[in-house]
Amino acid sequence: MNEDRSKYNPSRFLVGLPVLLGDAVAATTTLVERLHALAAERAFSPLATLVPGAAHVRRAHHAVAATVYAAIRATARGVGEAGSAGLAAAAAAGLFTPQGAAERRLLHGVGILNGLYGDTVRRRHARLDLGMTLHYADDCDPVTPAALAQHAPHLTNRLCLFVHGVCCTEQAWRLYTGPGELPMSARLCAELGLTPFYLRYNSGRHISENGRDLARVLEELVAAYPRPVTEIVLVGHSMGGLVARSAAHYAQEQEAAWLRHLRRIVYLGTPQRGAPLEQVAHGLACLLGAIPAPGTLAPAAVLKGRSAGLQDLRYGYTLDEEWQGQAAGAWAQNRRHARPVAGMEHIAVAATVARDPAHWRGRLLGDLLVRPASAGAPPAGRVHTLGRLHHLHLLNHPEVYAVLRRIFAELPTESRAAVGG
């Protein structure tokens, strides 16, 4: 929990955008150059043996084209750097700081960018990297030890951490909330005496990397918490469930203190066995990449550039050893089993767009992104399947609320044993 709150000023996202746009133009220029070169070769190759001097014309053409494309790339990156420097100076002077609805919209956009290309963003565009921060209630500022002390009168001994899915931020838990309404997550915590925390993270990184970092963040939270912690519940939507599961695994490896208080992990539409959409994207990337034609280069490049986090969703990878050493175009699964955590429950909530979850349409389509067979797969001990809901409904819907209300109202496993339940 970093005390340097200026590091998380939302202005930094705007400052990083011009450089990102400059790099995007440069990358697009490189792709156009490849298409141009491929088309030019097809035109020049038949002429090389038929027209005297064609080889000299081809070399001259390639040299001129390379110079022009290089100049475009350099100009794009230069303009991006200049724009970023100008915005940085304006932000330092206090000329703009996104707040309220503007900040939330900006976070949504950056969350999508991180989900799609988060590993690249982390390497080359640090200002746009969401990193990993913990947030209390609906505060956009990250939790710090000082902030915990400030909120001490409102904190309870029972903690609930909500972990968003891919291409999102903690603001996703507010979806479908009307004016003046509390989101499902806040209502649950307020009614049942839980203290709500929300995770914000770069969902484009490997799930296991985020899981390892989450284990560390929870250890820091429990150490700095101004009350003795008696219960921790993790609620993960989509990829967030895999991140929570990964964190529990690495906490066991590190013998982390917070794991003693973990009672439940609740998975909302979590692709334990993989997400069909990512499997389709992987297949298309491999197919298009194998066809050396101008019409396939662009879509293949876009698909192959998708983030490591998205690619982990293909089979629901949660551990380092599942993806390390695997070729980018590998088809075979490399699943490993995370170590079970003693004394805790795994509970899954799945959804289908069909009225009857048992109907073939429900089993085939699921919630449009995750099928029930994947969402309810092990390690879930109990599975609740709801009809006529799609993937994002699981973040904030009355039927989902009713299920979680019953689950959260139950005594934890440890407490049931103590009373002979």
pLDDT for position 329 = 67
Q: Which residues of the chain are modeled with pLDDT < 70?
A: 1-8, 47-52, 54, 328-329, 411-421
Residue 59 lies in a domain: yes
- 176 with 256, same domain? yes
pLDDT for position 378 = 81
Residue 317 lies in a domain: no
| Greatest CA separation for the chain | 95
pLDDT for position 322 = 93
pLDDT for position 43 = 75
d(CA 43, CA 344): 66
Residue 208 lies in a domain: yes
- Give how many domains the chain has, as a whole number: 2
Q: What range defines the domain where residue 93 resides? A: 5-99
Residue 88 lies in a domain: yes
pLDDT for position 307 = 96
- In SS3 terms, 118-185 reads as HHHHHHHCHHHCCCEEEEECCCCCCCCHHHHHHCHHHCCCEEEEEECCCCCCHHHHHCCCCCCCCCHH
pLDDT for position 416 = 37
- 182 with 241, same domain? yes
The length of the chain in residues reads 421
d(CA 381, CA 395): 21
CA end-to-end distance (rounded Å), the chain = 38
Residue 365 lies in a domain: yes
Residue 112 lies in a domain: no
HSE-CB at 170 with a 13 A cutoff on CA atoms is 24
d(CA 355, CA 390): 11
- 75 with 134, same domain? no
- 57 with 178, same domain? no
pLDDT for position 99 = 78
pTM: 0.90
Residue 300 lies in a domain: no
pLDDT for position 90 = 87
**Where residue 156 sits, what CATH number does that domain have?**
3.40.50.1820
Cα four-point dihedral sign 146, 147, 153, 155: negative
d(CA 216, CA 158): 19
Q: In the sheet where 158-163 sits, what is the strand order?
A: 132-136, 195-201, 158-163, 231-237, 262-268, 345-351, 382-386
The torsion region of residue 63 among left (phi > 0), alpha (psi -120 to 50) and beta comes to: alpha
